[in-house]
A = this chain, B = another copy of it.
């Protein structure tokens, strides 16, 4: 019975880290999944995902459109929403309801009901999976109601901002 899951830092996103590495690794995974699932990786899809990988801060649809425009892409609302729908459907992106905004998924490939931690100070978001959150519902709940999807968004202050914070 070894503990295999190290998952050393569930909130790496909030802390200093080598983000270039983080970015490249996520992008590599992303591309790999497109190959495995035989999906078409178009310039637009790639671009939107790259935008969302920038700094662990969620982007609104209209922010994405502005960035697309700057890069010479078409930028009417359906452009963003369609690509986002596609990326969400295939598990590459999640929507944060609290913010009406979108983030790149940290655990792509497996369909899951992610839990988000949203720092109201630095506005970064970290995704933790079920195992990491330790989240469970009691027997009664699950016998009374068949859960198909769970939206869980924790709003608060991240470790890094706590260090800095006065009030």
Number of residues in A with C-beta < 8 Å to the partner? 39
Interface residues of A in 136-167 (CB under 8 A from B): 136-141, 144-159, 162
| Copies of this chain | 2
Given contacts A97-B98, A135-B135, A136-B134, contact A154 B145 (CB under 8 A): yes
Q: What chain B residues lie within 8 Å of A59 (beta carbons)?
A: none
Contact between chains at A137 and B133 (CB < 8 Å): yes
Is there a chain B Cβ closer than 8 Å to A103's Cβ? no
Is there a chain B Cβ closer than 8 Å to A35's Cβ? no
- Please list 13 pairs of residues, one from A and one from B, whose beta carbons are closer than 8 Å in the complex, sorted by A's number: A7-B140, A97-B153, A117-B145, A117-B147, A132-B138, A133-B138, A134-B137, A134-B140, A137-B154, A145-B158, A146-B157, A148-B157, A149-B155
In order of increasing CB-CB distance, the 5 nearest A-B pairs are A134-B138, A97-B97, A151-B153, A148-B156, A149-B155
